[in-house]
Structure 1
Amino acid sequence: MQYLSAIDTPNVAFMLLCTSLVMLMTPGLAFFYGGLVSRKSVVTIMFQSFVSMGWVAILWFVVGYSLSFGSDIGGIIGNPKTYFLLNHIEPNTMYTGNKGGIPLLVHFGYQMMFAIITPALITGAFANRVNFLPYLMFLTLWILFVYCPFVHMVWSPNGILAKWGVVDFAGGIVVHATAGLAAFASALYVGKRIPNEDKSHNIPYIALGAGLLWFGWYGFNAGSELQVNAITVSAFITTDIAAAFAAITWMIIEILHVGKPKIVGLLTGSVAGLATITPASGFVSIQSAALIGIIASLVCYFCVFIVRKYIDDALDVFAVHGVGGIIGSILVGVFAATLWNHTGPSGLIESGSFLQIGKQFTAVMLASVWSAIFTFLILMIINFITPVRLSKESQNDIDMMIFSEDAYKN
């Protein structure tokens, strides 16, 4: 066991608060997605988010944390025995990944919240089309064979990508790129909705969900420093500035494109900005964060329309989260500055070198391809056991067919 001389009480309190904020993001996502889908499938999409809070927590406790942060095996995965069932972990067992003076259980809980929301993001892509048992099977296999390996490769000190110099402050590669490409692959695999309904059924739900996501994202990004210092503060502010610039940029584009501002567009833009700043939040200046927010909306807005022509990604998960995570991860190699994080890389603008861009690009492409291929394979395997896609009849009234529950009736 690893013990330190003292627990840093303020850091522990801060990290428990951040853990709670990240936990709140999953209910926020449930409301955000719940408002975007039709009224006949709101129970299903919300159930998929909330069940992740239970099932992924169990997986994380049993073996997920070990696979992610256990003793290294080849730089790709952690030893499943290291923290299996948190065996031999005591209240005063300390996390030694930084000098924040926090117990290992705090790090375990904080990272568990990331593991919970990441696969929940994917559900927006196959809304209305996937049965509940196949979803639980997918949830299990995806966490173990996609999410945990990339957590280890990028965030574990001995991970192969971490040792190479790839950085991801809060999850552009680990969370958004992997979930976004899984969304793309799953939407491609299950095909189009029948009927294909694109109208949002409850705008107040969307606004509530987006507000909770934005609020929780402060814990998501600022908490990733794992202690309170100047980097924590800058990560907090860059998160907000990027989201604000992205939201207003999306609104302006929409006015120019369709003639009117839309609140759903404004909120979608904020989420695009939040996803895009995530990998860079603790490495870039406030001014760079504003540019990243603008770039996020410019790119993601048009990606939404391009992707819709080819696949039925119901809630634009790939175009917003996936593309946002990808471009944000690459932009770390452009805007990262040692003035804002002396332990981080030096980007193109500061150093004049393309080296960090190359590392970031390689890592995000590896994560994207890995996630897309494994997602497709996982769905194929599950389909041999039980049909993944719902029948046409079930899609017409999915909540009643699967759960015998209606969101708006007793």
Structure 2
Amino acid sequence: MLNSGDTAWVLASAALVMLMTPGLAFFYGGMVRSKSVLNMLMMNFIALAVVGVLWVFYGFSISFANDATGLGLFGNFDFVGLQNTVGKLAGFAVTANPETGVAAAPWPGPDALPVLAFAMFQLMFAVITPALISGAIADRVKFWSWSLFIALWVTICYFPVAHWVFSFDGFVSADAIGGWIANAAHGIGALDFAGGTAVHINAGAAGLALALLLGKRRGWPKEPMRPHNLPFTLLGASLLWFGWFGFNAGSALTAGDLASVAFTNTMVATSAATLGWLVVEQFRDGKPTTLGAASGAVAGLVAITPAAGYVSPIGGIAIGFIAGVVCALAVALKFRFGFDDSLDVVGVHLFGGLTGTLLIGFFGTTSVNSLGGDGLFYGGDASLLGKQALAAVSVMVFSFVTAFAIGALIKYTIGFRVSVEEEVTGVDEVEHAETAYDFSTLRGGTGLSSNSLPATSSDAKVTVTAGKES
């Protein structure tokens, strides 16, 4: 039967995850130069518009309808236009598969959810994944070319991968067959609680592909390209941290103990990752930075995402701290290998996603979630680690290849990068005819701005009219 409490929690979580995309826009927006901040905000914001429409047309169907291939690759078109969803309930198959002994889903709530509540929750994951990619190619792409990339990439890459990872047998409908990564009955049964593979490895690999395809920003790495507004970045990281409780705890799809575990792990792993990143900065650079704190927090959020419902809080702290260290070191790879990943999407999301996904093979414990698995540190063998590695590598390769191919198609047809002159001018003015800040001042012969002039003066009267002083 329908559980109104679980339904309310899932809808609230969907709203929290939606907030993450504007939060990401501020996180990225503060890291770019002032002449491209609006473009970065728009590159994130447009994902809400594009993916929101495509999800209704066919995205949800490809991701969660009954498998169309028999191989767990993508769903059929039963839910095109969200037909067959209104008034329908989705529920977990809570009994174990007779062949494998494994339940069909890793969070077997006894009650059902409205299919539309689940669809809207999953939509927000589909929105933020391409938005994450935008940071890898900041400062240098055409807005409408980027919008087209989003539409093609989510269609060809994200929607099928969501089917692989998130679509469990018998959930959306009793006889539905899901994806090959999620289900042990006809696949590998790898663990990904909330999207380490489908979201972060997926986005990180695509970001690497586009960074290589489109090339470096003019002047990188010789010219300093410092963040123009670090308060923006810290605000964005804070909004991401807040929204991530819906991302991870909401993925329990029930307001119970498992959601509480995921919530706790999200908190403590992020805290530990922030410390890990700052420790690296202190030893490497001599100073802990605001940008490092924000980036470390996001690295921890990324790494705990696949593991949030499968590890203990101590395991969560360990995963977070390791991810903070790994990602802080990984961001330097772009200088070593010469690819311009503008805002460290590869270092944070690809490496963070890989770290969290693989560490389930060490820290996973059935004492937290009986439908998960025991990692090497909890008496398990290497089989779980092998499944995690296969899932991570498969998604990484598929995303890299599809992103590179789609990016190349756009590059050699309508063009993907702005010209050198336009890049120097700034993509805000070129692509949007706007600037984020008005640096002009109204100055008269006194050299004072109009804002600093007194209303009256014993020496002279100054009248400001229509932008001129007289």
Question: Could you state the TM-score of these two structures normalised by the residue count of structure 2?
Answer: 0.84
Give the match for residue 177 of structure 1.
201
Give the match for residue 3 of structure 1.
none
User: Which of these residues, 203, 206, 213, is aligned with residue 189 of structure 1?
Assistant: 213
Indicate the SS of the match to 1:385.
coil
Structure showing greater radius of gyration is 2
Indicate the SS of the match to 1:311.
coil
Q: Is the 8 A contact 2:62 2:76 kept in 1?
A: yes
1:1-400 equivalences in 2 (<5 Å): 6-74=1-69, 75-90=71-86, 92-97=87-92, 99-157=110-168, 158-163=178-183, 164-196=188-220, 197-309=224-336, 310-396=338-424, 397-400=426-429
User: Structure 1: how far apart are the matches of 2:219 and 2:334?
Assistant: 19
Indicate the SS of the match to 1:20.
helix
Identify the structure with bigger relative contact order (alpha carbons < 8 Å, sequence gap 6+).
1
Q: Is the 8 A contact 1:276 1:292 kept in 2?
A: yes
RMSD of aligned alpha carbons: 1.3
Q: Is the 8 A contact 2:67 2:76 kept in 1?
A: no
Q: Is the 8 A contact 1:26 1:117 kept in 2?
A: yes
Question: Could you state the TM-score of these two structures normalised by the residue count of structure 1?
Answer: 0.96
Q: Which has the larger displacement, 196-205 or 30-39? A: 196-205
In percent, how many aligned pairs have the same letter?
Answer: 40
**Paired positions, count:** 404
User: Structure 2: how far apart are the matches of 1:190 and 1:53?
Assistant: 24
Q: Is the 8 A contact 2:278 2:293 kept in 1?
A: yes
Structure 2: which 5+ runs fail to align?
Answer: 93-107, 169-177, 440-470
User: Structure 2: how far apart are the matches of 1:160 and 1:79?
Assistant: 12
User: Structure 1: how far apart are the matches of 2:111 and 2:362?
Assistant: 28
Indicate the SS of the match to 2:395.
helix
Indicate the SS of the match to 1:370.
helix
Structure 1: which 5+ runs fail to align?
Answer: 1-5
Indicate the SS of the match to 1:284.
coil
Q: 1:80 to 1:393 in 2, by over 3 A?
A: farther
Indicate the SS of the match to 2:412.
helix
Q: Is the 8 A contact 1:69 1:152 kept in 2?
A: yes
Aligned-residue offset at 1:80 = 4.2
User: Structure 2: how far apart are the matches of 1:347 and 1:145?
Assistant: 33
User: Structure 1: how far apart are the matches of 2:27 and 2:302?
Assistant: 15
Aligned-residue offset at 1:360 = 0.4
Aligned-residue offset at 1:307 = 2.2
Question: Per-residue displacement from partner, 1:275-330 (whole Å, max 9, x unpaired)?
Answer: 00110000000001111111101111111112233210000001001100011101
Q: Which has the larger displacement, 137-146 or 115-124? A: 137-146
Aligned-residue offset at 1:145 = 1.1
User: Structure 2: how far apart are the matches of 1:268 and 1:26?
Assistant: 16
Indicate the SS of the match to 2:331.
helix
Indicate the SS of the match to 1:72.
coil
